[in-house]
Structure 1
Amino acid sequence: MSGKTDIVLSSSWFNKYVADEDSPEGVFRGLSDRFSGITVDSNRETCKSEEFSETLQRSLSYWITKNKRGIWFKVNLSCSHWVPELVHNQFKFHHAKDDFVMLYRWLPKDEEPNIPPYAHTMVGVGAIVMNNQNQILVVNEKHALIKGSWKLPGGYVEPDENFVDAAIREVNEETNIKTRFESLVSIRHAHSAGFGCSDLYIVMALIPESMEIKKCDREIDKCMWMSVDDYLIHPEIHETNRNFLRTYLEYKKMGLKISCKNEVHQILKKQYNIYSLDCSQNKSSTL
């Protein structure tokens, strides 16, 4: 979970986001999200052309007093005259489809913008980090979808970043634990995720090279080393995450791992990674 995950829009966000009922008269109500953001849809909130500028100014002033963060405007074709005024007020383009354009503005002055890039497939990583005391590293996010739940450290892959590097970086950013790659464990593929994109979640096994946890105060509420036995029965851990650990333990039992090898394309001369089953450990143990 990096900063890139801070703002997430779902394809069904109308049903998941709650209108700001406390908004005063004369401002856009918008839809509030769990990251203290607001999304205004021009199909849901109409505004006369001659009134838009004043309404926008009042809304921005109100949102600033309420410590709102990411402000999103989904501007449909019928209200495209909103766009110049939004751009004039420091809004930036994020993505567009046939009948709308999405613009955003990051309000906090003391916080770097945490707006993820738009794409048809979002790619995230999670990390199974197990120490020699049979404990696994777990985190509790400040903005967890299920409050109080424990999950694997991780987040979105940055542009031009390898999966392995992303997993190592995310673990270090969230917990200050240094790690090295051991094996790819599993891949979860889903659809209709953030921004209506497909979603790839790649789980890596990493070997810890340090033990002292120092959590990221911005993103993480709690983190700790949890015993594997507790993890496998803990009520605040999703069954999917337990299955990732079971898969990893089964690999170790069978002496298997999925290794990562760097290759260079013979024509393009570009580096790429190949992930493949490595049975060498299993073979050596049977000799």
Structure 2
Amino acid sequence: MSSREKRGKVWLAVSGLVQSDAGEWLVVKKRYGGLKGKWSLPAGFVEEGETADEAVLREVKEETGIACTVKGLIGLRTGVIKSEISDNMLLFLLEPAGKMDITHQEYELYEARFMAPEELLKEKEASILLEYLIGRKDLLEKPVIDGVNPGDQFGYTAYKLFF
């Protein structure tokens, strides 16, 4: 079964905007897919048994070796592919949690590095989402609210809010 078949017709992905103390953004250049050869944010799909915020931390760590903490949710990208696949991605603002030594995932990425947003704007190979994010000066993150119990009748093993 291919990964596309495994996901079905409703996809939930996550992406992380990791900012260094100097204001640079962690970007990656994918080896596959629609963003092949373009600079984009580290991203991937939410797996069974994890929350979206756990998924973004895992994906950024897997792709770049950078451990992070979640500052908050900054947006949603949603679309429909070929009139049948609901493609949704939650964008999180992340903060590096320690060393910022990049070790990129060679089989998925050509490269990963920190770049200044202004430098990214000059790149011909930047994703449209990156270009849009760079143009926004008013990014507001919705922080995580953890420890809320919606009731035992639901059987949640994890439950978080972003408001």
The interval holding the TM-score normalised by the smaller chain is 0.7 to 0.9
Deviations 1:188-245 (A, max 9, x none): 111126x942011111010012210001111111111111211234221123222234
Q: Tell me the alpha carbon deviations over residues 61-119 of structure 1, each in whole angstroms, 9 at most, x when there is no partner.
A: xxxxxxxxxxxxxxxxxxxxxxxxxxxxxxxxx5xxxxxxxxx6xxxxxxxxx666233
Contiguous gaps of at least 5 residues in structure 2: none
Aligned letter for 1:202?
L
Q: Which residue of 2 aligns with 1:259?
A: 143
- What pairs with 1:50-69 in structure 2 (closer than 5 Å)? none
Instruction: Give 1:275's aligned residue.
Output: 162
Amino acid at match of 1:175: T
Of residues 31, 40, 63, the one that matches 1:151 is 40
- The change in CA–CA distance for 1:216 and 1:201 in structure 2 (over 3 A counts) is same
TM-score w.r.t. length of structure 1? 0.51
Deviations 1:118-176 (A, max 9, x none): 33310001110010111100101111435421110011110121111111100100000
- For 1:192, the equivalent position in structure 2 comes to 81
Match of 2:111 in 1: 222
What SS does the aligned partner of 1:186 have? Answer: strand
Aligned twin of 1:75? none
Q: 2:67 aligns with which of 167, 178, 183?
A: 178
For residues 63 and 141 of structure 2, the distance between their equivalents in structure 1, rounded to whole angstroms, comes to 25
- For 1:183, give the aligned amino acid: G
| Residue from 103, 109, 125 that aligns with 1:236 | 125
**2:22 is equivalent to residue 133 of structure 1:** yes
Q: Distance in 1 between matches of 2:15 and 2:123?
A: 18
- Does the 8 Å CA contact 2:14/2:56 hold for their aligned counterparts? yes
1:207 to 82, 91, 95: 95
Deviations 1:42-73 (A, max 9, x none): xxxxxxxxxxxxxxxxxxxxxxxxxxxxxxxx
What's the offset of the Cα at 1:184? Answer: 0.6
Number of aligned residues: 159
Q: Which one-letter code corresponds to 2:162 in the other structure?
A: Y
Q: SS in structure 2 opposite 1:189?
A: strand
* 4+ long deviations beyond 6 Å: none
2:133 maps to a residue whose letter is F
Structure 2 partner of 1:57: none
By relative contact order (CA 8 Å, sep 6+), the higher-ranking structure is 2
CA distance in 2 between counterparts of 1:144 and 1:223 reads 16
Q: TM-score, normalised by structure 2?
A: 0.86
Q: Aligned-residue CA RMSD in angstroms?
A: 2.2
Give the whole-Å Cα distance in 2 for the aligned partners of 1:175 and 1:228.
18
Contact 1:129 / 1:206 at 8 angstroms: preserved in 2? yes
Deviation sequence 1:8-51 (CA, Å, 0-9, x none): xxxxxxxxxxxxxxxxxxxxxxxxxxxxxxxxxxxxxxxxxxxx
Q: Could you tell me whether the CA contact under 8 Å between 2:144 and 2:160 is conserved in 1?
A: yes
